[in-house]
A and B are shown apart, each in its own frame.
Chain A
């Protein structure tokens, strides 16, 4: 069982819909991440939050909007997605500061399908 919880596990949405993915951790980690993984490919980093502030945006299209309301929660708001955005979206968390060599811990992801 993972200590990073992602909901929903599956999501099907149309291109005009607005939906949100949610990620939660209670390990006291202060860094949280969103990754995108296409079928049979490795995960690709999208966003990094450090102490609730966005620190890395890997040139992700604006139709993906991250939000970190507190140190335990990370959201990914979706709007006007394209069929090619269908993928597994993974959330991860890690300690920060002097322990920044610490590993990231991943959730099991949300499998997103765009119709």
Chain B
């Protein structure tokens, strides 16, 4: 599966949009992009995922570039509770790679700190 590159840390102002970049330049056409976050002392929380179209849900928006080599997670109005480590993961659909089905390979992630 493609590897991802994320900034080590980011600071965001409360109430402003937070734009979290992820580079996955070796992504293949069958690989999905997933975003998770992990708040201290909790398990990873699913945020959003997509293949090539932009996606939006109640938590965030996912913008995937046309060449799919990078993506951006947008938290529209950051709050203090959004302080967490954010992970960008790419994974091939299971039916295409049965030997690696289910394997989420977490990178180091981005430590996001939202400040008042």
Question: Do A and B interact with each other, yes or no?
Answer: yes
Which of the candidate stretches A48-56, A60-68, A70-78, A79-87 sits at the interface with the other chain?
A: A48-56
Contact, CB under 8 Å: B43 / A42: no
- Tell me whether B95 and A42 are in contact (CB under 8 A): no
Q: CB distance A107 to B43 under 8 Å?
A: yes
Count chain A residues whose beta carbon lies closer than 8 angstroms to a beta carbon of B. Answer: 26
Scoring B42, B49, B104, B107 by chain A CB atoms within 10 A of each residue's CB, the highest score goes to: B104
**A49 CB → nearest B CB, Å:** 9
Instruction: Say whether A2 faces chain B, with CB atoms less than 8 Å apart.
Output: yes
Kindly state the interface size class of chain B when it binds its partner.
20 to 34
Q: Does B13 contact A (CB under 8 A)?
A: no
Give every chain B residue within 8 A of A50 (Cβ-Cβ). Answer: 101-102
Q: Are A43 and B95 in contact (CB under 8 A)?
A: no
* Interfacial residues of chain A within 1-53, with CB under 8 A of chain B in the complex: 2, 4, 31, 33, 42-45, 48, 50
A94-B1 Cα distance, complex, nearest whole Å = 19
Which residue from B34, B42, B46, B103 sits with its C-beta under 8 Å from A45?
B103
Q: How many residue-residue contacts, CB under 8 A, span A and B?
A: 64
Q: How far apart are the CA atoms of A98 and B96 in the complex, in Å?
A: 11
Among A4, A43, A56, the residue within 8 A (CB) of B102 is A56
CB distance from A81 to the nearest CB of B (A): 21
Interface flags for B45-76 (1: CB within 8 Å of A; 0: not) read: 11001010000000000000000000000000
Q: How far is the CA of A95 from the CA of B101 in the complex (A)?
A: 12
Complex: A101 Cα to B48 Cα, angstroms: 12
Q: Once bound together, how far apart are the Cα atoms of A94 and B104, in whole Å?
A: 12
The residues of B with any CB-CB pair to A shorter than 8 Å are 32, 34, 36, 41-46, 49, 51, 87, 93-95, 100-109
20 A-B residue pairs with CB within 8 Å: A2-B42, A31-B102, A42-B87, A42-B108, A42-B109, A44-B106, A45-B104, A48-B103, A56-B100, A56-B101, A90-B43, A90-B44, A94-B102, A100-B101, A101-B93, A103-B34, A103-B49, A106-B43, A108-B41, A108-B42
